[in-house]
């Protein structure tokens, strides 16, 4: 004789949902890409590549850009986020000239920057380009490029800033603009080394 139990009352029926098991597959890799397109700024025989900050996972893409534009040196004006080893293997020298975001460069950074520009673009490798980057490529890096255009390209500060902004929208904040307007040339301007008597 078999006895069957009656079904439980409807009010006591519960439904439980168990989450699917956690995947043991590795996470999908994202495709490496450049954050914002590097900007080539070329004027008066000076060529610069203004960039945002590379990361280890996309550094190889930046190196392709550097090679495409004949970059011999890269200046990092922010905290390090990548190793120089891959750059050096590609024949690109890394220079660290960090200074605080949103500010004007200190004297030692200006001196190092102007010495590098003079050595590379005017003295030893005039056909080369120098890449310079900060975090977003909108403040510190464009300020250094503006200084080079003022010093060696003979540009008025406002003309230098306008030229950079036409090529890289959003570059140089108001505080940095005021600094550049007040900047006094160290090299005599014009870049020719001429003296008028």
Active site residues: 134
CB 112 within 8 A of CB 130: no
CB 147 within 8 A of CB 113: yes
| Nearest residue to 120 via CA among 154, 96, 92, 146 | 92
User: Please, which residues bridge with residue 48 across strands?
Assistant: 41, 130
HSE-CB of 29 using CA atoms within 13 angstroms: 5
Distance CA 136, CA 133 (A): 8
């Amino acid at each position: 004789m078999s006895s069957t139990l009656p079904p439980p009352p409807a009010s006591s029926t519960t439904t439980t949902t168990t989450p699917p098991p956690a995947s043991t597959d590795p996470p999908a890799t994202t495709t490496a890409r450049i954050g914002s397109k590097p900007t080539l700024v070329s004027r008066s025989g000076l060529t610069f590549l203004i960039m945002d900050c590379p990361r280890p996972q996309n550094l190889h893409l930046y190196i392709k850009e550097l090679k495409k534009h004949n970059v011999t040196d890269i200046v990092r004006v922010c905290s390090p986020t990548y190793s120089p080893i891959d750059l050096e293997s590609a024949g690109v020298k890394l220079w660290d000239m960090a200074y605080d975001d949103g500010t004007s460069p200190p004297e030692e950074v200006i001196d190092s920057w102007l010495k590098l520009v003079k050595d590379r673009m005017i003295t030893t490798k005039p056909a080369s380009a120098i890449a310079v980057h900060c975090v977003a490529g909108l403040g510190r890096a464009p300020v250094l490029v503006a200084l080079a255009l003022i010093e060696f390209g003979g540009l008025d500060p406002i003309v230098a800033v306008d030229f950079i902004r036409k090529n890289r929208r959003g570059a140089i904040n108001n505080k940095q603009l005021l600094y550049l307007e007040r900047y006094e040339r160290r090299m005599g301007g014009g870049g020719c080394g001429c003296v008028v008597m």
